[in-house]
Amino acid sequence: MKFTEKMWLIFKYSFKDMIRAKWIIVYLLFYLLLGFILLFLNNDLSSSVITIMNIIIILTPLIGTLFGVMFYYNSREFTELLIAQPIRRSRIFMGQYLGVSLSLSLSLVIGLGLPFLIFGLANSAEIFNFIMLIFIGMALTFSFTGLSMWISLRNSNRIKGFGYSVLLWLFFAVIYDGIFLSLLLIFENYPIDQFSLLMSMLNPIDLSRILVLIKLDISALMGYTGAVFQTFFGSNWGIVISGIMLLLWMTTPAYMMVRSSKRRDF
Amino acid sequence: MSRFLGILTCLMISASVFGQIEVCSDCQFKTVPSAIESASPHDTVLVHKGIYPIHNMVITKPITLRGLNRPVLDGEDKGYIVKILSDSVSFTGFDIRRVGISHTEDYAAIYSFRADYLEISDNHLEDVFFGIRLEKSSNVVVKDNIVKGRFSREFDSGNGIHLWHCKNARVEGNDLSGLRDGIYFEFVDDSYVIANRSHHNTRYGLHYMFSNDDDYLDNYFYNNGAGVAVMFSKNIKMINNRFSHNWGTSSYGLLLKEIYDAEIKMNLFEKNTVAISVDGSSRIYYRNNDFIQNGWAIRVTGGCYVNQFTSNNFISNSFDVSYNSKLNDNLFQGNFWSSYSGYDIDRDGWGDIPYRPVKLFSYVVNRTPETIVLLRSFFIDIINFSERVTPVFTPDNLMDDQPSMKKIKW
């Protein structure tokens, strides 16, 4: 798919729309406040990075989900109008999707980047961990905005669309890990290390958490006796594989959304 | 201390009163053994710069051997290099290389047997199997040596400084790396280990077996298989040491096994997989230690009674305390826990609600280690919280009922 002039127009429109909607400003202010308060209370960049990880991997998917759904249903009339024009559907929806997710990512980058820069991130050893954290936050935003827009496209009932999207977030953020833990405990007598790595690859939130853990909490993870974990967490393989999986999680929802937009009967 | 000073002064006096023999390529004595043979007791043998191939050199009289500008004693992988079988020998300023490797003999660069009042200082030992191995020798000083092993595997490397059946030893300011154990004490009593650096050893940085009444202070242990192991010993004082980056499977900062009446004070444990692993050890006082960014700060496995954990700082550890039983006979009081979420309404500096350092998740990980992939997951936070409210799996009396609100300073 080419980034054409028309797609650029739609992207610009969606982006401006998001900023005009004020919510994005609230989101930005929230991150600014969070960053400043955390660093003010803590004054220690490395432990703040860990705290922020907890917030990012829960909050960015939720915000991505909510904004994706809200944007889709709010601009539905306009979208239908656009569809009547000689523009390819894929460009319309791709433009909207990029507008929403990029504006959200921008809030994240500015909102957390500014306080950390002021508190001396540039001269700190934590800068790479922080950049990775921001990238993970962006990936999750893209992934969950795509997922929620895809769900909204498939449900014309906005209550249903909203419900499913939030449920999906709840599933990935909480329920999935509950099932995961139960499975691990039930099958504890079997070799389950490969299985457990696979399970964590299949959930973007777990995947992001693992990526951060490899960088930050490696000491605890290394305590596990097992060759599979050793190679995964001890070498760069873990980062490479999880990075590729996260990339897949970023692109697949968008692809699915565009695909179902072509089939949808408006 | 005064005793050691006494030895030193005696040695100095002997050096001035007694004769001096020099060894170099154009001196009367060209080899070290020939010089030692013609030396009378308490003489000084000065060895000038050069390379001297030597193995199995036996010293049977009290003499001072001193290297000028670091002469090299090359063992050519043939076995022992220097064997000291006499009291009051001083051995200083040498470079020693290439000790033989054997699986039946414990070859060492410097070996002593039944030799008291030794001083071994300022030597550089490289490619050793065992570095300095002293047996049944008391009142010895091992100071400022650098010992490097061959960085090979555990079963074909030896220990850096290995003491067996010794008393009143003082091991100070040495740098030990690439060995099996940096420093190894077996049946060594009333001894001091001070300000050594022990790193990149395949097993332990410092290892005590069956040794009582020893102190180790101001040492730095990093990147070892495990920092320090203290086993089957009594009355060991561990003060102001630093344990860091002892990472890996079954890797510890400090391993305590069957020890009694120890004091662990003012140590810094950072970035270890397990900072302290305690097994069957009782009456141990942990005070003013810093545990920072470890996987597990303290892992207790069975049979540990009447231990006291007071005024320690637990900061950003993945697990503060892990426990494998439901019984608790240990005291946790007045520590600072960075993950404490309570409040202090009466503003006396102590949190008003107790802190429970054992989380449900650490219990789960003990049972099924693979669950570690769920570390810091939101779901885990939820179950930890519910367990904290109503303890079911973790010992319900294991808590710090006086957690400090601020990082403790001393």
DSSP per-residue string spanning B203-242: SEEEEEES-BS-EEES-EEESSSEEEEEES-BS-EEES-E
What's residue B260's pLDDT?
Answer: 93
Lowest mean pLDDT among B7-21, B104-118, B390-404: B7-21
Nearest CA-CA distance, residue A113 and chain B, Å: 23
Helix ranges, chain A (H): 5-20, 23-42, 45-74, 76-83, 89-118, 127-154, 158-170, 176-186, 193-201, 204-216, 218-221, 227-234, 237-263
Nearest CA in chain B to A219: B273
User: A197-206, B11-20, B319-328: which has the highest mean pLDDT?
Assistant: A197-206
Nearest CA-CA distance, residue A220 and chain B, Å: 4
Nearest CA-CA distance, residue A188 and chain B, Å: 6
Cβ distance of A219 and B369 shorter than 8 Å: no
Task: Report pLDDT digits (tens) over B97-152.
Answer: 988 888 888 899 999 999 999 999 999 999 899 999 999 999 999 999 999 998 88
- Which of B247, B368, B375 lies nearest to residue A185, judging by beta carbons? B368
Neighbours of A89 (CB within 10 A): 16
- Which of B296, B318, B367 lies nearest to residue A188, judging by beta carbons? B367
pLDDT confidence tier of residue B397, bands split at 50, 70 and 90: confident
What's residue A217's pLDDT?
Answer: 64
d(CA B210, CA B200): 24
Cβ distance of A222 and B249 shorter than 8 Å: yes
What's residue B101's pLDDT?
Answer: 86
- Which of B372, B374, B376 lies nearest to residue A224, judging by beta carbons? B372
Cβ distance of A226 and B248 shorter than 8 Å: no
Cβ distance of A213 and B293 shorter than 8 Å: no
Q: Where are the domains of chain A?
A: 5-263
Q: What ipTM did this prediction achieve?
A: 0.85
Query: Nearest 5°: phi and psi at B298?
Result: -135, 125
Percent of all residues in chain B with a pLDDT value above 70, rounded to a whole number = 96
Task: Report pLDDT digits (tens) over B265-318.
Answer: 999 999 888 999 999 999 999 999 999 988 889 998 878 889 999 999 999 888
What's residue A226's pLDDT?
Answer: 66
- Which of A174, A210, A226 lies nearest to residue B378, judging by beta carbons? A174
Lowest mean pLDDT among A168-172, B10-14, B16-20: B10-14
Local structure of B156: helix, strand or coil: helix
Residues of A in contact with B277 (CB under 8 A): none
d(CA A234, CA A224): 11
d(CA B343, CA B350): 8
Please report where in the chains the tokens 């290390």 appear, as a residue.
Answer: A193
What's residue A24's pLDDT?
Answer: 85
Cβ distance of B316 and A50 shorter than 8 Å: yes
Task: Report pLDDT digits (tens) over B61-91.
Answer: 999 999 999 999 998 888 899 999 999 999 9
What's residue B52's pLDDT?
Answer: 92
What's residue A174's pLDDT?
Answer: 93
Q: For chain B, positions 300-319, list CB contacts with chain A under 8 A.
A: 315-316, 318-319
Residues of B in contact with A46 (CB under 8 A): 293, 316
Cβ distance of B319 and A220 shorter than 8 Å: yes
d(CA B99, CA B109): 6
What's residue A202's pLDDT?
Answer: 93
